[in-house]
Amino acid sequence: MKYDIAIIGAGLGGLECGYILSKNGMKVCIVEKERVLGGCLQTFKRGNVTFDTGFHYVGALDEGESLNRLFHYFNLMELPWKRLDDEFDTVIIDGERYPIMSGHKAFYDALAERFPSQKNNLRTYIDKLKGVGDHIFDALNPREDTEFYSTSLFGVSAKAFIDETITDQRLKDVLCGTSLKMELTPQLPLYTFAQINDSFLRGAYRLDGGGELIAEHLAADIEAMGGVIMRNSTVKSIKVNSDGEVSGIVVNDDELIESKWVISDTHPAHTVSLIEETPYLKKIYRSRISRLENTTGAFTANIRLKEGAVNYLNKNLFVYSNADMWS
């Protein structure tokens, strides 16, 4: 079978790519090794209880905000979104509670009250987040790679910015305490940290039913537009012709999926390992990609509580037994 595009992996990135390309008339095939689509959007069931594995809440979903615009494009606003409380996050460190409020002013007021010596620093911090949020789509404007990774916020460390801006260590811990998936290392770009944290201040929402609703909704629309999604299918290799051009992927028992392009939504080292030996891909490049350092991961325990043991909270709690949260 011949396609314009073959996509490896049906996580959120792979599904969004498939949706955009299908919507623009491309013939798309998405290959997913698991039965369930969505990657971190997956949910699972134990008995009659549904557990959400990674998609907990999103921000900037109010009318006119950036994610609202994107979700309208992806036909996702019809899903059952529920707005969280004004205090959408609470960070607890050493038993001390710190409110994270919706809205830039409310966010500032709540933390400035707790950290009066940091008022000016908090203003600088919020102005940077708001500036990123106001110009979020500017990051997609074409520019030279050297400029993009040196002068843009992708070339600035979030850790360096926070260390330079916030002088109170406890306030640093509070500001980073909701970012479990963004370990504060020098490698974390300021754009990533600022864009995500700013989005929540603009309106935080949860999805009533679990993240798999997003994956299955995207998949259904892709198939309705003529795309093909192969589940339980493992990519063995990425084919390269004698001219150094990708010609498709080999799936399962040596089934060839021919395509003009291949997009991989998997780890860079895994992606490179799939590419056939070719003089057009230098061994030194393969070696460099395979040695890329990974960031710290997280182990998640999903716990079912006895009915009535805890009242439902329409917000998130981040609880640390001590301030050294990353260890």
pLDDT tens per residue, range 110-167: 999 999 999 999 999 999 999 989 988 876 777 776 665 556 777 888 989 999 999 9
Contact 182, 188 (CB under 8 A): yes
Q: Residue 8: its pLDDT value, please?
A: 98
Phi, psi of 133 (to 5 degrees): -65, -35
Residue type at position 159: K
Q: Residue 171: its pLDDT value, please?
A: 95
Contact 105, 249 (CB under 8 A): no
Closest CA to 133 of 61, 79, 84, 83: 61
Neighbours of 297 (CB within 10 A): 8
The DSSP call for residue 65 is S
Q: Residue 77: its pLDDT value, please?
A: 96
Instruction: Name the pTM for this structure.
Output: 0.87
Tell me the C-alpha to C-alpha distance, in Å, between residue 127 and each of 131, 162, 171: 6, 13, 16
Q: Residue 186: its pLDDT value, please?
A: 73
Phi, psi of 256 (to 5 degrees): -95, 125
Tell me the C-alpha to C-alpha distance, in Å, between residue 143 and each of 134, 147, 152: 19, 7, 10
Contact 53, 42 (CB under 8 A): yes
Phi, psi of 180 (to 5 degrees): -60, -30
Closest CA to 217 of 79, 40, 24: 79
Q: Which two tokens stand for residue 287?
A: 């070696």
Q: Residue 206: its pLDDT value, please?
A: 93
Transcribe 270-302 into DSSP letters: HHHHHBPP-TTS-HHHHHHHHTPPPPP------
What is the rounded CA–CA span in Å between residue 103 and residue 110?
A: 11
Q: CA 119, 164, 136 angle in degrees (round to 5)?
A: 80
Closest CA to 17 of 175, 37, 8: 8
The DSSP call for residue 38 is B
Residues for the chain: how many in total? 327
Q: Residue 148: its pLDDT value, please?
A: 58
> pLDDT 10s per residue in the chain (327 long)?
799 999 999 999 999 999 999 999 999 999 999 998 998 888 888 888 888 877 789 999 999 999 999 999 999 999 999 999 999 999 999 999 999 999 999 999 999 999 999 999 999 999 999 998 998 887 677 777 666 555 677 788 898 999 999 999 999 999 988 886 666 677 788 888 999 999 999 999 999 888 889 999 999 999 999 999 999 999 999 999 988 899 999 999 889 999 999 999 999 999 999 999 888 889 999 999 998 888 777 778 888 888 889 898 999 999 988 767 665
Would strands 96-101 and 205-207 be described as parallel, antiparallel, or unpaired?
unpaired
